[in-house]
């Protein structure tokens, strides 16, 4: 792997290539390692369904192909208890020698994708009606609106923030287009 005694500076390439995309691994890249194979964090995904694997999740490495547990079982027609010679666990952290420096650590940390919030037509109507009355409601009003639409207060608060930003953007665009005429 990386046998030099000097540790690379962020500007130096590491001469290590991702086993999925075959691009160079940079010293600032977050990685996953399975046996001798190294992958960019985003490239560490099931070869069949392309889903990125999470820390601690079981996977199989067959002929340098990563398979999630489901597709490994399907492909080999094995029972749900996988044979231990192929099953691995996603390592908990990237290799320390190519982790970013601690001061930028939090910028590069992978985050689990959150569920996208979807609103029903009725919820949007209630939120818009309240927005027309007051675009910036106080905490108590947000609480009331949230309970009216059966959403968490934080979701309601973010909806109002996004709506104010959207309104501001539309006003700025209208101003610009008004000057063009």
104-149 pLDDT per residue, tens:
444 455 666 666 788 888 999 999 999 999 999 999 999 999 999 9
Please say whether the beta carbons of 82 and 58 come within 8 A.
Answer: yes
Domain with CATH 2.10.110.10 in the chain: 13-70
Residue 96 has which token pair?
Answer: 């320390």
Q: In what order do the strands lie in the sheet with 65-68?
A: 65-68, 58-62, 87-89
CA–CA gap between residue 108 and residue 104 (Å, rounded): 7
Please report the pLDDT score of residue 139 as a whole number. 94
Q: Give pLDDT tens digits along the chain (181 positions).
A: 333 233 344 445 557 888 888 888 888 888 888 888 888 888 888 988 988 888 778 888 887 788 888 888 887 665 444 444 555 555 554 443 333 333 444 445 566 666 678 888 899 999 999 999 999 999 999 999 999 999 899 999 999 999 999 999 999 998 888 776 5
- What pLDDT score was predicted for residue 101? 35
**pLDDT score, position 111:** 60
Q: Please name the CATH architecture into which domain 13-70 falls.
A: Ribbon (2.10)
pLDDT at 163: 94
CATH 1.10.10.60 maps onto the chain at 121-178
CATH number for the domain running over 121-178: 1.10.10.60
Predicted local distance difference test score (pLDDT) of residue 167: 93
């Amino acid at each position: 792997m990386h046998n030099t005694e000097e540790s690379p500076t962020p500007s130096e390439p590491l001469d290590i290539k991702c086993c999925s995309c075959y691009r160079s691994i940079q010293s600032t890249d977050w990685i996953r390692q399975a046996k001798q194979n190294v992958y960019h964090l985003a490239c560490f995904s099931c070869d069949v369904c392309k889903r990125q694997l999470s820390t601690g999740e079981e996977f199989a490495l067959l002929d340098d192909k990563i398979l999630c547990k489901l597709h490994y079982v399907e492909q080999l027609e094995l029972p749900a208890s996988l044979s231990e010679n192929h099953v691995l666990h996603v390592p908990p952290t990237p290799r320390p020698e190519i982790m970013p420096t601690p001061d930028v650590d939090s910028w590069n940390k992978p985050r689990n994708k959150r569920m996208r919030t979807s609103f029903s037509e009725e919820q949007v109507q209630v939120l818009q009606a309240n927005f027309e009355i007051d675009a910036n409601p106080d905490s108590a009003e947000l609480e009331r609106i949230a309970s009216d639409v059966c959403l968490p207060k934080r979701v309601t608060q973010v909806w109002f923030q996004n709506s104010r930003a959207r309104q501001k953007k539309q006003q700025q665009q209208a101003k610009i287009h008004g000057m063009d005429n």
